[in-house]
């Protein structure tokens, strides 16, 4: 790939063994779980997903790991299988659609091994405990190792080696040009590499050479069956860190130890080393490094190991580890961890690694490599690290994910389209409608685009989820596509009658919820409506980040706060207030607080709530009344309780705003409602609804 000289290193081809990559960007094998274990063929969603990546210009595409050992090797049913020849044809369909775009592709191989039963997969795939190098577990509410596993026998290890090699043969028959062995995270192969997990004293434990033997024999068997020219990449942890769990570094895989492991793997025939890292007791925060310190770091920053680079708050956390391994081996080294094109180019120029691994940024915009080559960095859809992709097989900014689409086609006939509302649903509807060739005008009654996103950014912050980036991106796109933007203009039926559009898309947002509680209008209650008005006014003059910073010094809210509503709105508000020194109690009628939050983020937040003393009272039967003293409720157990508070803040989901829709029905040929004005949900839902609706016109 040629083009932008600013990214000369990132865009140049390179090699992994006999395979030449188109550039130095590699789509890693992180799982999307769009399959089911019973599938024998590729579904439309997965074909569209991977074809979009291949067309987008990525240098090498690694397909997520099918199950190589069923059922012991998998903890999810949402995976394809490759433990039998009958699965080859289905995988060949995927390899063909990738390679038709001249994109090389590898298949990742993994064995979940010691992972416990996953809470959202209630029926175990196999009876009995998980399997591991040794019967070692740990007690951590944010990890996957709370069950004591069964120690594998040598005969079982040999069987699994054969299963890995047989899976590689099937991958080659299906059309994959290489494999990536996942010996990282805390899966089975890492479990053998790590001195913390592997306490064996036989041929597969007791020394670095013995602990590495399992992976070495897999590499050797693959090379024996497929030849020395068949590339084998191996993903390892450049470091395993035990400090969150109070475990000393020398009990785990140190950076020096991992460098030695990399040398052994190279000698065994590995063609590439793929470097990440792992924190014991904090599994997801290890592979999504920006989440490691959410909501706050579980250990002081001064206690981070020097080899783990936290200077960019997660981005590039593994760079020093990769650089150390690159000095230890002569084969290529790939590094992962919240990398973007600018940082990737810097890493390559400084010789810290040979390849830049990405997943979430490519999910957000599969065309990222092509746009980098064309110098169109401003047109790259931003990944805001919301983690909907790996949690729910969707993407906040890329509504194509999980659908049969990876492009936007022109409409048969151009229509005059009016979009009312400049929030995420309206902006995306305008973008897709314009891409389809329609004549689009967008009206927004305020003087800024973005809807409630700036307010959400005030509460969430922009350190992890950069919501303003969504607004900047969508505004740039619709402006470039010729969408006419009318700010500060409120749309009424009479305005629509004057315009005579053929299509109206309403994205007017929702209305605030006022819970029917006696005393709800007392002075110690801050209503949603008043809060929204105040914040919108301030955000006319201040950026969300600036206003958020100022709230550390002044916040017109008392020291004791009751938040009514335990969904994503109430939980994130509870976090915001707790960080500003308030004593927070969250009450909710739902039995399952945290609705709308990604599972891992919810788990981290509730762990932090417990440490900070935030009370979460779910299953509340009744909100009795609000008095000067606080909020009186009937608890889950049927007891009457008064929660003393200086301030009470309702944080409930919005209600649909259907007024304009009702007034326009029958007066315009096509009228659609999207986003909160139809069904108040999440940002990802709003953007998906805007895209889906615009595709239909």
**pLDDT, tens only, 355-403:** 999 999 999 999 999 999 999 999 999 999 998 887 678 999 999 999 9
Give the other-Cβ count within 10 Å of 14's Cβ: 19
Q: How far is CA 112 from CA 72, 115, 491, 595, 622, in A?
A: 8, 6, 55, 28, 44
**pLDDT, tens only, 290-314:** 999 999 999 999 999 999 999 999 9
pLDDT band (50, 70, 90) for residue 182: very high
Predicted confidence at residue 122, as pLDDT, reads 63
Predicted confidence at residue 2, as pLDDT, reads 54
The SS3 of residue 212 is helix
Q: What is the mean pLDDT of residues 450-457?
A: 94
Q: What percent of the chain has pLDDT over 90?
A: 88
Q: What is the mean pLDDT of residues 63-84?
A: 93
Task: Give the Cα separation of 59 and 655 in Å (integer).
Answer: 46
pLDDT of 218 > 90? The answer is yes
**pLDDT, tens only, 631-678:** 999 999 999 999 999 999 999 999 999 999 999 988 999 999 999 999
Predicted confidence at residue 391, as pLDDT, reads 64
Cis before 341 (ω within 30):
no
Predicted confidence at residue 124, as pLDDT, reads 72
pLDDT band (50, 70, 90) for residue 145: confident
pLDDT of 442 > 80? The answer is yes
pLDDT of 128 > 60? The answer is yes
Predicted confidence at residue 405, as pLDDT, reads 96
**29 closest CA partner among 362, 295, 326:** 362
Predicted confidence at residue 363, as pLDDT, reads 97
Q: What is the mean pLDDT of residues 330-352?
A: 98
Burial of residue 155, with CB atoms counted within 10 A of its CB: 0-12 exposed, 13-18 middle, 19 or more buried: exposed
Task: Give the Cα separation of 130 and 107 in Å (integer).
Answer: 24
Q: What is the mean pLDDT of residues 447-471?
A: 93
The angle at the Cα of 227, spanning 226 to 228, to the nearest 5 degrees, equals: 135
Q: What is the mean pLDDT of the chain?
A: 95
Predicted confidence at residue 532, as pLDDT, reads 82
| CB contact burial 460-496 (16+ within 10 A = b; e otherwise) | bbbebbbbbbbbebbbebbeebebebbeeeebeeeeb
Find how far residue 383's CA is from the centre of its chain.
9
Cα pseudo-dihedral 288, 289, 293, 295, rounded to 10: -30
pLDDT of 231 > 90? The answer is yes
pLDDT band (50, 70, 90) for residue 238: very high
Predicted confidence at residue 395, as pLDDT, reads 96
CB-CB contact of 88 with 170 (8 Å):
yes
Mention every residue, 6+ apart, whose C-beta is less than 8 A from residue 547.
458, 535, 538, 539
Q: What is the mean pLDDT of residues 609-630?
A: 97
Cα pseudo-dihedral 307, 313, 318, 320, rounded to 10: -40
Task: Give the Cα separation of 686 and 59 in Å (integer).
Answer: 32
DSSP state of 653: P
Predicted confidence at residue 4, as pLDDT, reads 78
DSSP state of 239: E
Q: Which residue has the tokens 């919501």?
A: 467
Predicted confidence at residue 530, as pLDDT, reads 82
**pLDDT, tens only, 553-593:** 999 999 999 999 999 999 999 999 999 999 999 999 999 99
Lowest-pLDDT range, 66-75, 325-334, 417-426?
Answer: 66-75
């Amino acid at each position: 790939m040629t083009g932008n000289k600013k990214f000369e290193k990132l865009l140049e081809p390179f090699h992994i063994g006999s395979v030449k990559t188109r550039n130095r960007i590699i789509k890693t094998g992180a799982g999307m779980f769009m399959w089911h274990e019973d599938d024998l063929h590729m579904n439309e969603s997965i074909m569209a997903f991977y074809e979009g990546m291949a067309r987008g210009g990525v240098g090498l595409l690694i397909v997520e790991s099918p199950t190589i050992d069923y059922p012991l090797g998998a903890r999810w049913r949402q995976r394809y299988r490759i433990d039998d020849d009958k699965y080859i044809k289905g995988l060949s369909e995927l390899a063909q659609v990738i390679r038709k775009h001249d994109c090389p592709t590898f298949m990742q191989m993994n064995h979940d091994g010691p992972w416990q039963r996953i809470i959202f997969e209630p029926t175990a795939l196999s009876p009995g405990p998980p399997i591991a190098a040794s019967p070692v577990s740990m007690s951590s509410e944010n990890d996957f190792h709370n069950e004591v596993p069964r120690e594998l026998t040598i005969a079982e290890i040999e069987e699994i080696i054969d299963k890995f090699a047989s899976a590689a043969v099937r991958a080659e028959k299906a059309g994959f040009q290489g494999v990536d062995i996942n010996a990282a995270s805390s899966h089975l192969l890492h479990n053998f590499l790590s001195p913390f997990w592997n306490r064996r004293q036989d041929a597969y434990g007791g020394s670095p050479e013995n602990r590495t033997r399992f992976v070495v024999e897999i590499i050797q068997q693959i090379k024996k069956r497929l030849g020395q020219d068949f590339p084998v990449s191996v993903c390892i942890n450049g470091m395993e860190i035990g400090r969150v769990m109070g475990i000393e570094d020398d009990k785990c895989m140190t950076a020096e130890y991992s460098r030695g492991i990399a040398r052994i793997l190279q000698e065994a025939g590995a063609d590439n080393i793929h470097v990440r890292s792992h924190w014991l007791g904090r599994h997801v925060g290890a592979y999504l490094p920006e989440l490691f310190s959410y909501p706050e770091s579980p250990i002081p920053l001064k206690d981070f190991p020097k080899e783990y680079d936290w200077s960019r708050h997660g981005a590039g956390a593994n760079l020093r580890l990769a650089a150390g391994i690159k000095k230890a081996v002569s084969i290529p080294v790939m590094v992962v961890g919240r990398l973007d094109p600018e940082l990737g180019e810097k890493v390559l120029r400084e010789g810290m690694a040979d390849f830049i691994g990405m997943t979430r940024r490519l999910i957000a915009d599969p065309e990222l490599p092509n746009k980098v080559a064309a110098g169109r960095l401003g047109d790259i859809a931003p990944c805001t690290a919301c983690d909907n992709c790996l949690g729910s097989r969707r993407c906040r900014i890329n509504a194509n994910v999980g659908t049969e689409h990876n492009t936007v086609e022109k409409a048969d006939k151009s229509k005059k389209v009016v979009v009312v509302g400049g929030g995420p649903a309206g902006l995306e509807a305008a973008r897709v409608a314009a891409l389809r060739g329609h004549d689009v005008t967008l009206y927004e009654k305020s003087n800024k685009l973005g809807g409630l996103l700036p307010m959400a950014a005030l509460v969430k912050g922009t350190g992890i989820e950069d919501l303003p980036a969504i607004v900047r991106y969508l505004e740039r796109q619709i402006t470039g596509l010729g969408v006419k933007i009318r700010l500060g203009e409120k749309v009424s039926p009479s305005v629509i009658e004057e315009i005579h559009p053929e299509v109206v898309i309403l994205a007017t947002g929702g209305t605030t919820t006022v819970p029917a509680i006696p005393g709800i209008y007392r002075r110690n209650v801050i209503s949603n409506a008043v809060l929204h008005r105040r914040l919108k006014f301030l955000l006319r003059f201040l950026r969300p980040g600036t206003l958020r910073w100022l709230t550390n010094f002044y916040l017109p809210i008392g020291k004791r706060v009751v938040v009514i509503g335990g969904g994503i709105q109430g939980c994130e508000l509870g976090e915001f207030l707790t960080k500003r020194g308030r004593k927070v109690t969250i009450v909710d009628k739902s039995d399952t607080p945290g609705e709308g939050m990604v599972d891992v983020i919810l788990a981290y937040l509730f762990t932090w709530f417990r440490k900070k003393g935030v009370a979460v009272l779910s299953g509340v039967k009744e909100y009795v009344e609000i008095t000067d003293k606080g909020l009186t409720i009937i608890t889950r157990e049927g007891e009457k309780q008064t929660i003393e508070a200086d301030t009470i803040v309702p944080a409930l989901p919005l209600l649909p705003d259907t007024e304009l829709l009702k007034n326009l029905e029958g007066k315009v040929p096509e009228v659609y409602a999207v986003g909160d004005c139809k069904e108040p949900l999440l940002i990802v839902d709003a953007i998906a609804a805007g895209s889906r609706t615009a595709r239909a016109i």
